[in-house]
Structure 1
Amino acid sequence: MNSDDQTEARLLRENADLKIRLEEAEDTLAAIRRGDVDALIVGDDIYTLDSAHTAATRLRKDVLAQMQDAVIAFDHLGHIIFMNPAAERRYGQSASETLGRTRNELFEEQWPSADAEQVSQAALQRDGVHRAQSVHRCRNGERIDVETTVTRLDVAEGQAFGELLVVRDISARIRAERTLQIAVKELARRERQFATIVENSPDIYSRVDPQHRHVYVSPAVEPYAGRSVEHLLGKTLAEWGAGPAVHEQWERALRTAFDGGQKSRMRTRFTDARGLRHVFDARLIPELAENGSVESVLSIATDITEQEMIDTALRDSQARLRFALDFASIGEWDLDLTNDVAVHSLRHDRCFGYAEPIAKWSYEHFLAHIHPDDRGRVAQSFDSSVAAGSEWRVECRVVWPDQTLHWVQAGGSLYVSPDGTRHMMGIIADVTDRRAAEEALREADRRKDDFLATLAHELRNPLAPIRNALQILRLTSDPAKQLKWRDIIERQLQQMVHLVDDLLDVSRISKGKVELRRELVDIADVLRAAVETSRPLIDENKHRLDMRLPEPATMFVNADSTRLCQIVANLLNNSAKYTPEGGSISLTAERNGNNVIICVRDSGVGIRQDLLPRVFDMFTQVERSIERAQGGLGIGLALVKTLVLMHGGSVSAHSDGPGLGSTFIVQLPLSNISTHISASEHEQGPDRRATELMVLVVDDNMDSAHTLAELLQLWGYRTCTAYDGPGAVAAADSNRPAVAVLDIGLPGINGLDVARRIREQPWGRDMVLVALSGWGQGSDRIKTAQAGFDHHFVKPVDIRRLAKVLEESRSDP
């Protein structure tokens, strides 16, 4: 073995020996720490460890072992001489590894600032103890926020032996403090924002304590209260000057919040300090203390006056809209085009025949109710409107559940809802009545055209024989022939007068200007007068007339005798016209309870069943053929119905069909007078002895004036004529007539002014003035009466009535 090998062997032995001694030293140190050693021999010296010292040492050991704070001891050179288990855990190193090492080998201490370290050292030197916060950076790189209490260790002579560090990990506390600081800052920021909102909000924020005093009020209250916030704090609402009703409402809401801990709401009206009326909506929110009790109530009051006005206007508008829609029977609908679902009103559903709301409705449901003949057109128009984004309007027929047909008019407009879906909103109305009215108007227009054509025909018919008769009268001097043709002229003229009278009656009745002149009328007399009126037409057509009339003075009605005669005559004339030559007509009247039944029956052309409901309509005629022997304007039966209704009666028509004749039945209420003495008045011509009576005839139509004057002369009266207003006044003055027949439409001075001027003269006050005019309405008669006329006749004048007036004038003293 060489010397190197020997050296290596020696070193190995020494190393092994050192390890053994180190292990023994560690075991000894561990035994000392545990208190298992009473004495320690070092070389020739013996160190005794008494039991009390051992117990105290053991107690300190136990306390240090259980401490959660790290405890580290350093000698005066800064070497570690002790670490408790908490320090071992804290820094991740055992005591055996760190004993004798420096502080920096265990951790690096980082101070918040250089001054902080200096302050800490100075305090330790001065006071022997100091506490400070710093950061320990461990060997594994971990950073620990710590709070360190440093105590100076002194020997008996007062010299510093070292330092004892008690290190507490305050990382969690630091994090919590940092979190708290952030929260505090955020809270402060939010409070500033809230304060900015509250101080500048138009709403009134207030906080109320349990005594209902205001501990906070936002500045928004000042314009309403008329005082600053400082004058309102600490006071109740009553002390603010609130009225009893508002105060009572406020107190009730506060009690709900304080006593029940529940949110409450109130809406109130009041007048502010400026005299303006306001409506406020207030929300009251309980604020809880730590024990759960309500310590205050936060009130947020919003001025909703303007919104209330808008809501009121909106409600009024909606009410008017609902009224308009209801009144017009218009329904509303809103169709979601994406989902094919519609919102609809009951008025909408009624347009399709449903009395109750329909749960589900869609475009497909709509199309299913459309009449098949209209469905394609409706679908095409709807699709075109949706594609073009234009308004949709349609009018079509719908089939109701009871299979009846009705007309509807619908329309809609497109819009996009907030969720982006396309909708069409619109209205719908049942226009069945309007369509029927339009059809009735078209039918009436058609009948009007027919009437005008017929009128022209009927007016021309009498003119032809009149013209021919006049030519014959010029060519013949045979008295018999002249009498014959004069009769023809008179008959045709009467026909024309009858046509014009019917037209005038229709006009007056349609305007409600016909007044019945009721009197007690004997039915027998009226029927005989009607037969007399219709006899020429009946005889002309060679009809047989059978009559079964009541005995005179057995049945009376309270009626206008002229109009009643017109009713029966029109029915007889109608039967005469629509019965082929040589037919039969019957007229009967009989009592039925408290009514009289007048029946006119003929063997004429009859009436189709579809025409029966319209036979009394204006301008309706049973037959329109150029071969018909007798004409007519289609207004006679309409006049009959109107006049009968005015008398409180009824009229009806019956027929078994074409060629089977017709029956017209009039029912009128009888008068309750059982007997009646009637002095029959027979028409008499004027007294031929009246030659001393002077009559003034005034007309701007000279032919009319001359013919009437000549007729009066043939009756034995003296006459004079004038053709304008001034001439009439002069003629009246010079001739002093007993009667003046004046046309109203005179040149120079009209007939009304002529009458006034005559009445102004002493000689004209007792003169009988007769107005002669083409106007015969009630207003026209009032005007003539006010001007001083005694009578009013409509052209052409009824000669017999005129003769009666003249006769009465002659007999007056």
Structure 2
Amino acid sequence: MSGRMRDFDWDATPFGALADWPPPLRAALSLCLGSQSPAAIWWGDDARVLYNDAYIPFLGAGKHPGVLGLPGAAGWPGTWAQLGAHVEGVLHSGDAALSEDEHVFLARHLDQQDVQEEVYASFAYEPLYADDGTIAGVFCLCSETTPRMQGERRLTTLRALSACAAETGSVVAACECATDILAANGYDVPFSAIYAVPLGRTDLELVASSHLDAPLVARLHTLADARAHAWPLDEVLAQGETREFALPSLDWRGDADSGWPEAPRSALAIPLRRAGVQDVIGIAVLGVSPRCALDDSYRAFFDLVAASVEAVVASALGREALQAANRQKTEFLAMLAHELRNPLAPIRHVADRLGAEGLTGPQAARCIEILRRQAAVLSRLVDDLLDMSRITLGRVQLHKRGVLLQEIIAQSLESVDALIRERQHRLTVTSEGAARVDGDPQRLVQCLVNVLTNAAKYTGKGGELHIESFERDGFGVLRVRDTGQGIAPELIEHIFDLFVQSERTLDRAQGGLGLGLSLVKKVMELHGGHAYASSDGVGHGTTVTLEVPLADYDAVLHEHEPEAAPPETGGPLRVLVVDDNADAADSLAMLLEAEGHAATAVYDADAVLACARQFAPDAIVLDIGLPKIDGYQMAQRIRATPDLAHITLIAATGYGQPEDRARAFEAGFGDHLVKPVTLDALRRALAKARR
């Protein structure tokens, strides 16, 4: 500025030739030019300006050097009423003045010269005296505080957003909390719009906004609506990257209390993600202030706002998921209680009837049939629960071999044939080729039976069931189509979730625990395959498709296991039953006695060895889950006792995994039976004691 001062044509201004300036002005100018801080001199009655290099940023490229030597009112027409009041106050009073963190607006960095940029600055004004002692001007030292003041304002917003993330509520409520906070800082965020997936929906939609009038909100509801307004949300969703975009003219209503009167000219669309997950869970659209340059600091603020909104949305999603899980658990426990009471009721009725006198012949046979049928229902419920537990914990081992899909269909139909005939369904089966898959036949049959059972249960009498098998893209495909009640669109993507059923009514007419399709999906995934469902809606039927990888060989690698030989018949045995559940022990002993054996029961592990010496059994049926000493330890003690080591040991347990069987054999058991023990299994195990 020193060179510019020397070269400037001062003769054309009221200052006159530089050599003729009064000493006080020359001294003040020397001080001004030598200052490292922004400094300006306002001289004369019309406050003409002189300034140093450090003051140029206050002016911006648009004013420098054009305002040099101009009156303040001419150089700062928009803000002189504010700035000039301080200068004129010192000129008239002679008193120094200090203005801290003053909010002023200057046309300097922004592209639009008609918009005044927001600036905070502190000013110190000192009077300058002429030779005659009169006040001739004002010396002003300046310090811009814009970064600090804007930073404090933005930090307040971020703190409030972090508190919002901890509040309870749905995704919509949490997002509304966030936009309410952003609305309070319309200076930095002229408007906001948060797109997320509300509970029960599948697509991103506008769930909360601030400073957008109601008609505009309605027109921006979906991503398609946003696209129609040139908002690039589809690109943000697809690419997962922030986009800055120009805004078309908005029907803007400025908020004088918390924002600027001018409409924002641009906005940022920022993808929202859950921590540690790359998938976009939402999009935050944040308006850019028309009075702030979008510099690094401002962009960093927007990134922090987006991160806070991410936390708000993710926290709400977590709460909703937890609440949904709790609701599922509560509903499941209610279903479980209902499904268990259903078979328990006839069992109890039959037990009471059996306790009455005079029950013989057909009535007794009918009671026995009811007991067997309802015990089978209970067994299936328990098996489903155990299967889900094992699969979830990763404790299921597949025994795979090459198997034809036609075999899976045939075996499955054997299990559901009675239900299909009862429902009078028309069944068609079509197979394209002989697709051989690499799978566990037992598990694949279990899956198809589950699917077919669902199709039959939810298809009215006289409906149609279609089973197809074919090859496609390296997979063997099983497809089951029905003409039943169908699935609502909002439920179709959750149909494979735990405890989900297409309808839940008080009568629970269809029964079941809602585990079947979840088991199907998990078993398919264990095979490296897929399971998915489709439906055209309620009343239009359902299609369930299972895909299993094709086998890479043509021949079956393992022969079918030979059917178990019928149990040997022979003389009666002496059998000791050990179970801490007295009813279980006594009932099994009664069953053995009905088979012609001599049986006695022991309920305490401490009495087993003494009773075995006295009773001299041929076999001991031993519960694994004994208190004090478990069945494995007891078996080892028996095997270590010379006079008892020859006795056949049979494990009876609720643990039926392969590793449980292996552990039983290692402990010295000759057989491993899973509760509830069937009579045929017990007969085969006892036959070994005769050899």
State the TM bucket, normalised to the shorter chain: 0.5 to 0.7
Shift of 1:604: 1.9
Q: Out of 398-407 and 485-494, give the one that drifted further.
A: 398-407
Alpha-carbon displacement from aligned partner over 1:104-133 (angstroms, at most 9, x marks no partner):
xxxxxxxxxxxxxxxxxxxxxxxxxxxxxx
Alignment of 1:565-644 (within 5 A): 565-592=445-472, 594-644=474-524
Distance 2:396 2:555 in 1: 29
The reply to whether residue 364 of structure 1 matches residue 245 of structure 2 is: no
Larger radius of gyration: 1
Alpha-carbon displacement from aligned partner over 1:230-267 (angstroms, at most 9, x marks no partner):
xxxxxxxxxxxxxxxxxxxxxxxxxxxxxxxxxxxxxx
Distance 1:707 1:798 in 2: 13
Q: Is the 8 A contact 1:772 1:794 kept in 2?
A: yes
User: Corresponding residue for 2:640?
Assistant: 760
Distance 1:700 1:737 in 2: 19
Shift of 1:618: 1.0
User: Corresponding residue for 1:458?
Assistant: 339
Of residues 575, 600, 605 in structure 2, which corresponds to 1:725?
Answer: 605
Q: Is the 8 A contact 1:709 1:721 kept in 2?
A: yes
Alpha-carbon displacement from aligned partner over 1:173-195 (angstroms, at most 9, x marks no partner):
xxxxxxxxxxxxxxxxxxxxxxx
Alignment of 1:316-327 (within 5 A): none
Change (3 A) 1:723 1:434: same
Change (3 A) 1:498 1:550: farther
Shift of 1:719: 4.1
Shift of 1:486: 2.2
- SS of residue paired to 2:622: strand
- SS of residue paired to 1:611: helix
Shift of 1:744: 2.2
Higher relative contact order (CA 8 A, sep 6+): 2
Change (3 A) 1:796 1:650: same
Shift of 1:682: 3.9
Shift of 1:602: 2.3
The reply to whether residue 562 of structure 1 matches residue 431 of structure 2 is: no
Distance 1:659 1:405 in 2: 33
- SS of residue paired to 2:187: helix
Distance 1:736 1:690 in 2: 19
Distance 2:650 2:660 in 1: 13
The reply to whether residue 651 of structure 1 matches residue 486 of structure 2 is: no
User: Corresponding residue for 2:395?
Assistant: 513
Shift of 1:531: 3.0
Distance 1:555 1:737 in 2: 53
- SS of residue paired to 1:501: helix
Alignment of 1:534-553 (within 5 A): 534-548=416-430
User: Corresponding residue for 2:377?
Assistant: 495
User: Corresponding residue for 2:16?
Assistant: none
Shift of 1:619: 1.4
Change (3 A) 1:364 1:810: same
Distance 1:334 1:483 in 2: 91
Change (3 A) 1:639 1:633: same
Distance 1:521 1:399 in 2: 56
User: Corresponding residue for 1:442?
Assistant: 323
Distance 1:784 1:740 in 2: 14
Amino acid at match of 2:334: A
User: Corresponding residue for 1:400?
Assistant: 269
Shift of 1:582: 4.2
- SS of residue paired to 1:658: coil
Alignment of 1:146-165 (within 5 A): none
Alignment of 1:139-288 (within 5 A): none
Shift of 1:746: 3.1
Alignment of 1:4-83 (within 5 A): none
User: Corresponding residue for 1:336?
Assistant: 149
Amino acid at match of 2:400: R
Q: Is the 8 A contact 1:334 1:344 kept in 2?
A: no
Shift of 1:710: 3.8
Change (3 A) 1:803 1:654: farther
Q: Is the 8 A contact 2:154 2:188 kept in 1?
A: no
Shift of 1:639: 0.7
Change (3 A) 1:768 1:537: farther
Q: Is the 8 A contact 1:541 1:581 kept in 2?
A: yes
Distance 2:670 2:346 in 1: 37
Root-mean-square deviation (CA, aligned residues, Å) is 4.4
Q: Is the 8 A contact 1:463 1:492 kept in 2?
A: yes
User: Corresponding residue for 1:663?
Assistant: 543
Q: Is the 8 A contact 2:193 2:285 kept in 1?
A: no
Alpha-carbon displacement from aligned partner over 1:88-115 (angstroms, at most 9, x marks no partner):
xxxxxxxxxxxxxxxxxxxxxxxxxxxx
Shift of 1:748: 5.9
Alpha-carbon displacement from aligned partner over 1:557-601 (angstroms, at most 9, x marks no partner):
443333222212211222232223443434443444753222223
Distance 2:680 2:268 in 1: 64
How many positions carry a matched residue from both structures? 432
Q: Is the 8 A contact 2:437 2:475 kept in 1?
A: no
Q: Is the 8 A contact 1:690 1:717 kept in 2?
A: no
Change (3 A) 1:785 1:680: closer
Change (3 A) 1:728 1:375: same
User: Corresponding residue for 2:586?
Assistant: 706
Change (3 A) 1:448 1:669: same
Amino acid at match of 1:504: L
Change (3 A) 1:644 1:804: farther
Q: Is the 8 A contact 1:341 1:363 kept in 2?
A: no
**TM-score (norm: length of structure 1):** 0.46
Shift of 1:755: 0.6
Q: Is the 8 A contact 2:486 2:536 kept in 1?
A: yes
Distance 1:384 1:730 in 2: 91
Change (3 A) 1:607 1:803: farther
Alpha-carbon displacement from aligned partner over 1:598-644 (angstroms, at most 9, x marks no partner):
22232221111221111101111111112452112111111110011
- SS of residue paired to 1:633: coil
- SS of residue paired to 1:789: coil
Q: Is the 8 A contact 1:526 1:561 kept in 2?
A: yes
Amino acid at match of 1:441: L
Amino acid at match of 2:317: A
Q: Is the 8 A contact 1:407 1:435 kept in 2?
A: no
Distance 1:694 1:339 in 2: 88
- Structure 2, unmatched stretches of 5+, are 1-145, 162-174, 176-184, 195-206, 213-255, 259-266, 273-280, 287-300
Distance 1:629 1:661 in 2: 19
Shift of 1:653: 0.9
Amino acid at match of 2:365: L
User: Corresponding residue for 1:375?
Assistant: 210
Distance 2:157 2:509 in 1: 61
**TM-score (norm: length of structure 2):** 0.54
User: Corresponding residue for 1:355?
Assistant: none
Distance 1:435 1:763 in 2: 67
- SS of residue paired to 2:189: helix
Distance 2:405 2:643 in 1: 45
Distance 1:531 1:711 in 2: 33
Q: Is the 8 A contact 2:533 2:542 kept in 1?
A: yes
Alpha-carbon displacement from aligned partner over 1:500-519 (angstroms, at most 9, x marks no partner):
22112222222222222334
Q: Alignment identity in percent?
A: 35
User: Corresponding residue for 2:624?
Assistant: 744
Amino acid at match of 2:386: L
Shift of 1:810: 5.5
Q: Is the 8 A contact 2:621 2:651 kept in 1?
A: yes
Shift of 1:336: 2.3
Of residues 352, 367, 377 in structure 2, which corresponds to 1:485?
Answer: 367
Distance 1:510 1:338 in 2: 49
Distance 1:455 1:401 in 2: 45
